[in-house]
Amino acid sequence: MIANFFSKTKPINFLVLSAIMIIVYIIGLGNNLTGGFSLVILLKKSVFTLPIILLIFILNFIIRKNLLTEDNTYAILLYILMLGFFPNSFFNKNIFFSNFILLFAFRRIYSLRSDIETKKKIFDSAFWIGIASMFYIWSFIYIFLIYGAFWIFRKRNWKNIFLPIIGFITPVFLLFVYQLLVEDLNKFYGLWVFEYNLSFHSYIKMEFFLPIIFLLILGAISIFPTTKKSLLSKIDIKSNWTILMIHISLSFLIVIIAPIKNGSEFLFFFFPLGILFANYLQIIQRYWVKELILYLFLTMLIIANVI
């Protein structure tokens, strides 16, 4: 039933996805309120529903425009459910807005498969990554995704080598000038502190351990059949899939070195993992297996919020 409903892209799907997103957010909000609940708090937090609903349509645009999945909404559904696995993703504002901005960069990176406005796309994607890095410094690692993209998409013009650097530096320089004018350079320098943490002790907690194990197992199951199918497909799909694998690898690196490990850092994973899992669901022939996987996601969502 669930698999069949989300197997197509229809207007009603987005209404349901928006409702699910709001429910997941409210559940996470209830688990994260420490100072009690009031109408004032509800009104303040309700403003945040606008970007999270907008997130659904941005994800759909990127996926549809770049043919990252077939005509379905599995990737968006799984993205929302994974947000529910780690509800701190909503409430770490720096990480959330960094990821929100990164989506605009990913839109340009994956679109490099076409030959239209190549240099503009490279500059724009680095520009957005520069802005995202002001919210969360390790977002700059996705600069390497740009280099991987124009190498794989055969945009290896020597002039392109410097465009990501120029694009990244542009918003950083503008912020520096602004902070210089308001005489608050300490705030600017404070953004560029490269803290890291290689301890994974916090992941032993059951609220993190079970979702992480679930995603690792499903990821291991998904990656081989989907990669095999993609490598046998036409060049555009093959190239997109190679970029996706680099994307997952860079996201894994960010999670590994994240200075604060409270679950919110896994938000960097959700976009590429959602696409990976959606492609896996597409190649499954047995309908009941698709249903089982989606119900396992729903079960994990419940478990992650009641532990």
Residue 278 pLDDT > 60, yes or no? yes
Residue 121 pLDDT > 80, yes or no? yes
Assigned domain for 127 exists: no
User: What pTM did the predictor assign?
Assistant: 0.93
Q: Residue 211 to residues 24, 121, 182: CA-CA distances in angstroms?
A: 15, 35, 45
Assigned domain for 117 exists: no
Residue 183 pLDDT > 90, yes or no? no
- 78 vs 222: CA distance, rounded Å: 14
Assigned domain for 111 exists: no
Q: What pLDDT score does 34 carry?
A: 59
> SS3 for 186?
helix
Residue 292 pLDDT > 80, yes or no? yes
Best CA proximity match to 304, nearest among 81, 11, 57, 43: 81
Q: Do the Cβ atoms of 60 and 76 come closer than 8 Å?
A: yes
Residue 37 pLDDT > 60, yes or no? no
Assigned domain for 130 exists: no
Stronger pLDDT, 29 or 155, i.e. the higher one: 29
Q: Which domain holds residue 249?
A: 2-92+145-155+194-306
Assigned domain for 122 exists: no
Number of domains observed in the structure of the chain: 1
Assigned domain for 209 exists: yes
For the beta carbon of residue 10, count every other beta carbon within 10 angstroms.
13
Assigned domain for 210 exists: yes
For the beta carbon of residue 31, count every other beta carbon within 10 angstroms.
15
Q: Which two three-digit tokens encode residue 249?
A: 């690898």
Assigned domain for 132 exists: no
Helices 11-32/74-85 angle, 10° precision: 10
